[in-house]
Amino acid sequence: MRLRLRVNGEAREAEDVWEGESLLYVLRERLELPGSKNACEQGECGSCSVYLDGSLVCSCLVLAGQAEGREVVTVEGISEGDGLHPVQEAFVEAGAVQCGFCTPGFVVATHDLLRRVPEPGDAEVREALAGNLCRCTGYEKILAAVRLAARRMAK
């Protein structure tokens, strides 16, 4: 099947898409957007998080056909222009980027949280990021990055 969707503000098409392919596979392999990571393929780790029509989803759990005609925003599409988004900058500056595999999912989930709750408390942050797993280290630097991004975006 031919898949037509809007990705990061741009109309995109993918040819010969199998009905059983995941949106994650289409984004990474067919549209050459490697930001969303393929880790668990079961929606357990959050590494493949993207926006689908403005809602945060695990792209490994979305069939490509379900994305037909819809709007997708990946970690590559969060920033405006050539610079990093404040959430991306905060992750870099706080040292929250360990091996980097989980980082795209954390960045998209944090972006989603801060657009809904500009000044979240620690409990709200922990709940919002509960669907994302990092195997490199503890979560303190990630939480520090979220707090830093929230402070900067609140100004």
Q: What is the pLDDT of residue 80?
A: 80
Same domain for 12 and 73, yes or no, is yes
Res. 137: pLDDT tops 80: no
Q: Say if residues 148 and 88 touch (Cβ distance below 8 Å).
A: no
Same domain for 62 and 93, yes or no, is no
Res. 136: pLDDT tops 90: no
Same domain for 39 and 72, yes or no, is yes
Same domain for 11 and 52, yes or no, is yes
Same domain for 71 and 11, yes or no, is yes
Res. 82: pLDDT tops 90: no
Domain count, the chain: 2
Tokens of 59: 């792209």
The residue from 77, 104, 126 where one domain ends is 77
The CATH number for 66's domain is: 3.10.20.30
CA atoms of 45 and 60, how far apart (whole Å): 10
